[in-house]
Structure 1
Amino acid sequence: MNVEVRPATKAEQMYCYTQSDQIMGQTGCIGHLRADMGDSGDQFFHDWTSHCERLLTPEFDDEFNQLINQLREDGGFLKSRAAVSTYCYRQIDSAIDLSSQDFAFRADTKDYSYLLRLNPQKGMYTVYCYCYQREFLDHHLKQAEKGIRFITSNYTELFRIPDGGKIRILREDGTHIDKVCRYIDDYHVEVGSGWDSLFHICQFAEQMERCHNTVLPLDTMENSTRNTRSRPKDRGDAR
């Protein structure tokens, strides 16, 4: 196979991990492989987790096996733990978090994209490879570049944060909670994680106003509106 592997962008790095069912569905996530290289550092104990059975076609299966086998051959960076370490540290810009020694790469073919998370530390899983339908992943990444809108209940935009950015919810009693947010589409957002994390952006605004909460951006985008306090028509500032 003639496939180019490059460091993943910051936006792509998020897709080296298991996402919510909603996001995995929109990005065309087929499943992921997990592998460690054993005590010797040159073994390959692996398992597979499916995320969408209907996308697990014979064509994908053939291509994926061919890709992994190629990367495991002599000269391939998955040949051994030492090869993984050399490959990662020669491309330090691929680091997700140096404190955990996680590195992210992307490989594309005509129809599929592979997001690899590598960790050369002994005792850790060395390889995670998340497999996507390329068209679906690229479309979602492009849409997510617009950022996540936060609005009042009458649709006045307050600010935007990047996909994967954080907000702070200030409660009326003076306490606060920070939440990571994920882009779903222009009108839907995941706030935190769990079964109750998916919101229409107006639904979230209404809930914050009912609770007298104030929502502030901890990560902002360029040209984002700075009016971060919601102003319902029939009462004072939400807190």
Structure 2
Amino acid sequence: MEFTSIPLKGTEYLYTYHNSQQISGQTGLVGYLRADFGSSDCGFFHTWNEHRADYNTDEFKAEFYAAIDYFCEKGRFLHKRRDMANFCYEVGKTFEYENGREFGVRVDSEHYAFLMRLNPNKGEYNLYCYCYKKDWLDSHLERSGKGIRFIDSKYNDLFRISDGGCITIEYPGEKPVERYCRFIDN
């Protein structure tokens, strides 16, 4: 089985980090894999963090391990740190707020989407791979693309911001506070 990796688009990078229970449930998060290459730069030391045991089916495991094994082959970006570094700098898609330290790709199997945050730097975790039910994630991403609606007490629109956007809250006599916002539902 062959897989293709494509750079993360739009707000997909938000799903390569821990999210609320509600967002994780709506997107069909199965769990995530965290890995590093170790001090030899050639190991693959990993930990699986399960979110929903009932989603961790044999079908999921087959598609997930096929994707991971595919990218761990010689010359591919999970083979060793140098391969990951070459891949990341070749792709050149960085998360804007990470100063070029992390790169993101999406790999789809038949039923699942694997959103990978790659960091080729030694001494840090090199991979976070968040695993979602593909149709659930895509549906959530489509709905979140309309932005987060802020309303008044009569449900009239005040303004919208994009998913992951920031608002500033000002309290009389206090410093303004910035808060990042995530899309939950309409």
- Provide the TM-score with structure 1 as the length reference: 0.75
- Find the residue that maps to 2:183 and give its secondary structure: strand
1:110 aligns to 2:110 (yes or no): yes
Which runs of at least 4 in structure 1 moved beyond 4 Å after TM superposition?
Answer: none
Amino acid at match of 2:116: L
Which stretch of the first structure deviates more once superposed, 95-104 or 149-158? 95-104
Amino acid at match of 1:68: I
Radius of gyration: which is bigger? 1
- Residues 34-67 of structure 1 deviation map (CA, whole Å, 9 limit, x = unaligned): 1110111010010100011110001111221121
Instruction: Give the deviation of 1:132 after TM superposition.
Output: 0.3
Give the aligned partner of residue 65 of structure 2: 65
Amino acid at match of 1:27: T
Instruction: Report if the CA contact (8 A) 2:2-2:70 is conserved.
Output: no
- Residues 153-187 of structure 1 deviation map (CA, whole Å, 9 limit, x = unaligned): 1122110000000111111335321100000001x
Instruction: Give the deviation of 1:10 after TM superposition.
Output: 2.8
Give the aligned partner of residue 132 of structure 2: 132
- Provide the TM-score with structure 2 as the length reference: 0.96
1:1-20 paired onto structure 2 within 5 Å:
1-20=1-20
- Find the residue that maps to 1:48 and give its secondary structure: strand
Give the aligned partner of residue 177 of structure 2: 177
- Find the residue that maps to 2:71 and give its secondary structure: helix
Q: Which consecutive residues of structure 1, in runs of 5 or more, have no partner in the other structure?
A: 187-239
1:157 aligns to 2:141 (yes or no): no
Instruction: Give the deviation of 1:77 after TM superposition.
Output: 1.2
Q: Tell me the distance in 2 between the aligned counterparts of 1:99 and 1:144.
A: 25
Residues paired across the two proteins, number: 185
Root-mean-square deviation (CA, aligned residues, Å) is 1.1
Q: Which consecutive residues of structure 2, in runs of 5 or more, have no partner in the other structure?
A: none
Q: Tell me the distance in 1 between the aligned counterparts of 2:142 and 2:98.
A: 27
Q: Tell me the distance in 2 between the aligned counterparts of 1:69 and 1:36.
A: 15
Q: Tell me the distance in 1 between the aligned counterparts of 2:174 and 2:18.
A: 34
Give the aligned partner of residue 95 of structure 1: 94
Identity of aligned residues (%): 43
Amino acid at match of 2:122: K
Instruction: Give the deviation of 1:119 after TM superposition.
Output: 0.3
Q: Kindly indicate whether structure 1 or structure 2 has the higher relative contact order, using CA contacts under 8 Å at least 6 residues apart.
A: 2
- Residues 117-175 of structure 1 deviation map (CA, whole Å, 9 limit, x = unaligned): 00010001111100000000000000001111111111221100000001111113353
Amino acid at match of 1:33: L
Amino acid at match of 2:134: R
Instruction: Give the deviation of 1:100 after TM superposition.
Output: 5.7
